[in-house]
Every structure is written in structure tokens, then in C-alpha cells.
Amino acid sequence: MDSNDFNHYLHAFSDWISDYVKAVGHYPVGSLLRPGDISKQLPDSPPERGEPMDAIFRDFLEVILPGITHWQHPSFFAYFPASRSEPSILAEMLTAALGAQCMLWYTSPAAEELEDRMMAWIRDMIGLPPDFTGVIQDTASTATLVSLLTAREKASGLAINQSGFSGKEKFRIYTSVQAHSSVDKAIRITGIGHDNLVKIPVDHDFAMDVAALGAAIREDLGKGFHPLAVVATFGTTGSTAIDPLAEIGRIAGQYGLWYHVDAAYAGAALLLPEYRFLARGMEMADTIVFNPHKWLFTNFDCSVYLVKDPVSLVNTFNIMPEYLKTPEDRLVNNYRDWGIQLGRRFRALKLWFVIRYYGREGLQKMLREHIGHARWLRDEILRHEDFELLAPVLFGLVCFRFKPSGISGEQELNRINQKLLHSLNDGGKIFMTHTVLDGKYTLRLVGGNTAVTRQSVEAAWEEITRQAAIVYKQFDSL
């Protein structure tokens, strides 16, 4: 592309981006298409000759955009947020333009040194002690896998890396029944095997039952297993429950277990000093993961992985082929040795832009607003006789269900709530997801992107109650 054309499209696209960010609320929040609707519009084979950018962009607008779920929509309340922000978009544009591959200090010194500093800033901002150092991983799933691989290699003295499993290891890993599925996935990939993941029951607030954890470890020791690691969650996916981190830390210390804390979503709340008491004991962990790409307004992907023992981490992943040796190897962090992939994006830049643009206070303000919206909704639900709150509201997530008088059977309630969720999402006005808590089909509403406002949460509640009345009327025929 010649420089005039590039300049023209750069301006055209930046105008489009600016309009999109302003007007994202005008799109249907969830895509209303059916499976195959996009692929039938895509040619079977690639073009032989290059096509004009106008044609490509037109297809972006006409073919691709209708198949996008607008995660940054003010009425996007599903999963956990993947929040981005204007400063983060600007940084991503620069990252794309630089096109730098940041695997070694040598391949972009600024990327390595900025990442190092950002990890220290984040650690301090969330109130963790300086004995943690960090690295950016793509996702929390990768960070948890990296943590458990490190635990495995530390316990085996790097023997499994070298020779594979001997068959005598008998490792066991413990996590709660409410832990994220990334723990299950990591167990498979580490080769430890799903049968050796012990799921510990939870209490009435969906937090790990530590007495059951201690009992499971003792039982396994009695059977000749090797208890290797425990994964606790600070803010579970289902309900943002908090496992008792200090008690788990004490048990991990007592039995010599590796201790990983998954704070993927709720870690952001630790920027607020008034929430730090909830994380008491997190500092006992060996490793912690927290995703700025969830609730710290930093474009996906950006997952902060904090570790106390970088030597064990690097020992697990370090490989030194001739072509990657550099004169500075002894003086710097080469982050390719701090995780799975060799090639790495320059992710620290967007974090730097976000933290500098908003400052600690600006970030805290947005987080407090989001928590305030969730509390407002919680109070509305508690006041409404036909709705029921299903879990404590700790951060930005509200778990609830429609429970109209006249319907009391659990199966009927599950059915009517499932129908309600589908009606809401099919309507295109709001987008939510569900989970099951205590066998109850649970509606989850969590707002955490920068476009969510009190008005959009109020409008969501109005839509939920309106649709609930419609679904209730049709219930006999469901």
C-alpha cells in the first residue's frame, strides 16, 4: 500500500473507530445471527489478486459487523467484562504499527523494561508486597497452567521436563468445585490428569470449605498420594465468591503445597483499599493471576502473573538455542523464559497508557462506580417480591433469579429463568449469561466496561422485569 493510501485509510478508520466508540450503544448488543450466517457470505477460496481496501472495508461493515457481539456496549452484562478504554485502543494502534516481537530484552529493550516496571506498579497498586515480581501472560488460563507446570517441575527437580513422568509421582491438586474450568484444563495439559484434581466442596457462600481441604489432603497422604498444589479463587466465575485465602495459605504451608491464587476478575477490586481486607492471605501465595483485560480497561489480552520465585519459573521454561543467545542474557529478563510462547506481543504499552491516563484515582473511581451499580441492582432485587438474590454481591456481579409467586418448584423456576434469559438476549437490548448455583438456574448480570452507566443498568432492570412479566404470562404453554 502506498503511503498516500495508507494515510487516507488510517484517517478513515480512525474516524470510524471514534464513531463506533461513541455509538456502540446503538447496535444490538448480542449478535442476532444464526450459525452459518457469516460463513455463507465468505468466498470459498482466497482472492488471486489483491482487492481494493474500499471493498474490504465495505465487507467488514456489511458481513463482519453484524456478527459481532458488542462487548463494549453499555448493556453488555455477560460473562465477565473484557473492558477496553480509549487510551488502551490508542496504545494498541501504536503496538500494531510498531509490529515489534518482544521475546527478548534484545528484541525491544523498551518492551522488557516497561513490562518489568508495569508489573511492579500493578503489584503495588493492588497492595501486594515487593517479594512478588511479574510478567504479562496472554490469559489467566495460561498463567494457571504456567503456575502448575512450575509446581510440577519444582517438585520433580526438573525430572519430568527431562524424562517425562516415571509413573511414581502420584501428584494431587486441590481446588474448589466453583473454580474456573481453566484449572481443569491446566491439569490435563500438565499431564497430572483429571483424576488427580480434587474438587473441594464450598460453603453456603460458595467459598472453599477449608476443613474439607485439610481432610482431603490427609486422606490422600494416607493413600500414598503426593499433594502438590492448591488453587484458590479470589472472585469465582459463578458468583465472585472468595476462598478463605489465609486459611488455605496456612494449610499449603503446613503440607508443603504450591499455592496459586486465581484473581482473574476480582483482582482489579484490590486497587480499592477498602476491599483489601477480603484478600487477606493472598500474599502467602506462590503465584497470583489477575486480568487487566477483564476489569481494568485494558484491551484483551493482558493477564498479570505475579510470582515469588522467578528462578523456579525460568528453570521450568528456559531453553537456550544458539540463535536466541544475546550478550545481555545475564543482565536482563528475557520474558520468553517466563512462559510458554517464544514470540510475545508488546502488551505492557497499553497497560502503561491506561494507568497513566486515568491514574490510580481515575481507575478507582470507575471501579467504585461499577460496584455502586451492582449494589443498586442488588437493592432493587431485594425489594422486589418476584425476584430473589442468589449470592452475596461483593464486586460488580449480581446473581439472581425470577421467582414469581405461584411458581415454587425448582424445575419450573429453572425453566422460567432459562426462558427469561433467552428472551432477554434475543431482544438485542441487553446481553447476559447464566450459571447454576446450588442447582438453581442463576441469571448473572455484571457490568464492567467503560460504557456501562447507572442509566444502562436501570434500563436493564426495567427490561428484565418487563420481559419477566411476558414470560410469566406465557409460562403455562412453555
Among 95, 108, 298, 303, binds ligand PLP (CB under 6 A): 303
130: burial class by Cβ within 10 Å (0-12, 13-18, 19+)? exposed
| Contact status: 449 vs ligand PLP (CB under 6 A) | no
| Contact status: 240 vs ligand PLP (CB under 6 A) | no
Asked whether 81 and 447 are in contact (CB, 8 A), the reply is yes
Measured CA to CA, the distance from residue 436 to residue 103 in angstroms comes to 41
- Least CB distance to ligand PLP at residue 166 (A): 31
| Contact status: 233 vs ligand PLP (CB under 6 A) | yes
Query: 192 or 232: whose CB is closer to ligand PLP?
Result: 232
Query: 201 or 359: whose CB is closer to ligand PLP?
Result: 201
231 closest CA partner among 246, 217, 243, 218: 243
Measured CA to CA, the distance from residue 360 to residue 366 in angstroms comes to 10
Query: 108 or 178: whose CB is closer to ligand PLP?
Result: 178
- Least CB distance to ligand PLP at residue 81 (A): 10
Measured CA to CA, the distance from residue 450 to residue 158 in angstroms comes to 44
Relative orientation angle of helices 410-426 and 454-473, to the nearest 10 degrees: 120
Chain centroid offset of residue 263 CA: 9
| Contact status: 395 vs ligand PLP (CB under 6 A) | no
| Contact status: 345 vs ligand PLP (CB under 6 A) | no
Coil vs helix vs strand at 458: helix
* Only segment of 40-48, 133-141, 204-212, 388-396 that touches ligand PLP (CB under 6 A): 133-141
| Contact status: 444 vs ligand PLP (CB under 6 A) | no
Query: 303 or 450: whose CB is closer to ligand PLP?
Result: 303
Integer angstrom CA distances of residue 456 from 55, 175, 441: 35, 36, 24
* Only segment of 166-174, 205-213, 233-241, 252-260 that touches ligand PLP (CB under 6 A): 233-241
Dihedral, CA atoms, 44, 48, 53, 59, nearest 10 degrees?
-10
Query: 169 or 262: whose CB is closer to ligand PLP?
Result: 262
Residues 242-301 that bind ligand PLP (CB under 6 A): 262, 264-265, 291
Which distant-in-sequence residues (6+ apart) come within 8 Å of 129 by Cβ?
A: 283
Size of the site for ligand PLP (CB under 6 A): 14
Query: 28 or 292: whose CB is closer to ligand PLP?
Result: 292
Count CA within 13 A, CB hemisphere, residue 448: 30
Query: 423 or 433: whose CB is closer to ligand PLP?
Result: 433
Measured CA to CA, the distance from residue 169 to residue 249 in angstroms comes to 23
Residues 63-82 that bind ligand PLP (CB under 6 A): 80
Query: 91 or 145: whose CB is closer to ligand PLP?
Result: 145
- Least CB distance to ligand PLP at residue 126 (A): 16
Measured CA to CA, the distance from residue 200 to residue 207 in angstroms comes to 10
Query: 138 or 337: whose CB is closer to ligand PLP?
Result: 138
Compute the radius of gyration of the chain from its Cα atoms. 24
Integer angstrom CA distances of residue 124 from 114, 133, 253, 338, 440: 15, 10, 24, 21, 39
Q: Within the chain, what is the greatest distance between any pair of CA atoms?
A: 75
| Contact status: 182 vs ligand PLP (CB under 6 A) | yes
Contact code string over 139-168 relative to ligand PLP, x by CB under 6 A: xxx---------------------------
Among 95, 156, 190, 237, binds ligand PLP (CB under 6 A): 237
Judged by the rule CB under 6 A, the positions of this chain that interact with ligand PLP are 80, 139-141, 180, 182, 233, 236-237, 262, 264-265, 291, 303
